[in-house]
Amino acid sequence: MAEISATSFPSSPSSALAFRRSQNGSLRCQNVACPRTISLFQELSVKKSQLVGIGHVPGSRGCKNQAIRAVLSSDEQTVVAADSNGAGLRGKLKKVVLAYSGGLDTSVIVPWLKENYGCEVVCFTADVGQGIKELDGLEQKAKASGASQLVVKDLTEEFVKDYIFPCLRAGAIYERKYLLGTSMARPVIAKAMVDVAAEVGADAVAHGCTGKGNDQVRFELTFFSLNPELKVVAPWREWEIIGREDAIEYAKKHNVPVPVTKKSIYSRDRNLWHLSHEGDLLEDPANEPKKDMYMMSVDPEDAPDQPEYIEIGIESGLPVALNGKALSPATLLTELNTIGGKHGIGRIDMVENRLVGMKSRGVYETPGGTILFAAVQELESLTLDRESIQVKDSLALKYAELVYAGRWFDPLRESMDAFMEKITETTTGSVTLKLYKGSVSVTGRKSPNSLYRQDISSFEGSEIYNQADAAGFIRLYGLPMRVRAMLEKGI
């Protein structure tokens, strides 16, 4: 896990939270700078009923020594909440590590954490192969949002080697189609956040996942598993911000630069394994995805008219080489993404069952992953016997469910992984694949540990297999069916 950068910034001036009384007497939240000179201060006693839903109030549990001050003017009254202990509106945390992307949501979360928990915020960004453009300018964005430090770590090799490849070896596919791209990325990011929290002395971690999705579970189960003492803050489950417009207004009031990038009509998640698309017209399962939505793969109709043949080298169930050239896990996957994308490989359109109970429709692009799954499973047809394949496939379903549900560090998954490692230790060899207009076809496979014997399987004569032996086998194998038929006929 190589650290790219760790940049510290001077703490930005603290701001006070003000509640401005509107014409109808209601209170609304606004961020204002603390005035240097105030002609009139008046200590106010504010009734709890006036502050319901706003935060801590005088006399409430967990709100000690809190003073409420008011700044009076001719046209409005401003009530400023302060805490002599430095606590925020919702309590006090020392330092929080925030999963940070630099987008609108996480940019707004930085001042929100400081305002509501009176804490220092350390932003953390993981490079899991989402594209270097998404990392540009993060230092400036984090500084402008009020972060005290930004840490960026390159997790690409760890992601592929320790998370993607074990799932590949296990044959883990969720609900017949989904190759678990987002599901595998969350635990490696969350694990790194726990590590960073220990490095910087943080007592809490935070994420920008919504309360409707799977990712909140994946992040938090990892936090619980690796450091149960860390507090977890999930702003989307706490704040009053409802949508993008609310977030923009909040950002402006807190002097946080609003990202100028054009808002995509789709919700996307990208890493080295896949790219997911959700939202907009995809929310209706009857709608066909638009052609210009895809980003990692060309339309199969526009793919080259000539097929391309590639050879994947595999050792103990894990891919290690492309066309005879040994490559690192991340490099191998990167090259296969390019090759597969060129041929329109790996497009999946599915309706899945989210962990939180609802169904959702998503479209996934997994070009390199689709190629690797085809190669590994095909080599297993040579190296595993019937019973081993059946048991492995049955466990693969549960393995996929555990990963999808965020239980990466669950002892059950770890135990199943030990089985997968053992059962595939002889799965070594190579597979030749034909890529053509969205399809992956296996054209050849070979292994030094192959259980396939041409001298036995051939239609020509064999000293090992005597065809006459089949008669007795069939009579014994079919005996239960024969007895049942005899009973029905009264024989």
Supply the residues annotated as catalytic: 105, 186, 215, 267
Burial class from Cβ neighbours inside 10 Å (0-12, 13-18, 19+) for residue 439 reads middle
Paired tokens of 20: 């401005």
Comparing C-alpha atoms, which of 72, 15, 14 is closest to residue 41? Answer: 72
Tokens 């489950």 belong to: 237
Comparing C-alpha atoms, which of 251, 257, 238, 204 is closest to residue 89? Answer: 238
Residues 58, 25: contact at Cβ < 8 Å? no
Burial class from Cβ neighbours inside 10 Å (0-12, 13-18, 19+) for residue 481 reads exposed
Distances 421 to 166, 239, 389, 407, 416 between C-alpha atoms, Å: 8, 44, 14, 19, 9
Three-state SS for 72-117 is ECCCCEEEEEEECCCCECCECCCEEEEECCCCHHHHHHHHHHHHHH
Using CA atoms, how far apart are residues 40 and 80, in angstroms rounded to an integer? Answer: 13
Comparing C-alpha atoms, which of 116, 102, 182, 179 is closest to residue 145? Answer: 102
Burial class from Cβ neighbours inside 10 Å (0-12, 13-18, 19+) for residue 142 reads buried
End-to-end Cα, the chain, rounded Å: 73
Burial class from Cβ neighbours inside 10 Å (0-12, 13-18, 19+) for residue 368 reads buried
Residues 105, 97: contact at Cβ < 8 Å? no
Residues 76, 21: contact at Cβ < 8 Å? yes
Q: DSSP secondary structure string, 378-418?
A: HHHHHHS-HHHHHHHHHHHHHHHHHHHTT-TT-HHHHHHHH
With H, G, I as helix, E, B as strand and everything else as coil, classify residue 29: strand
Using left for φ > 0, alpha for ψ between -120 and 50, and beta otherwise, residue 171 falls in: left
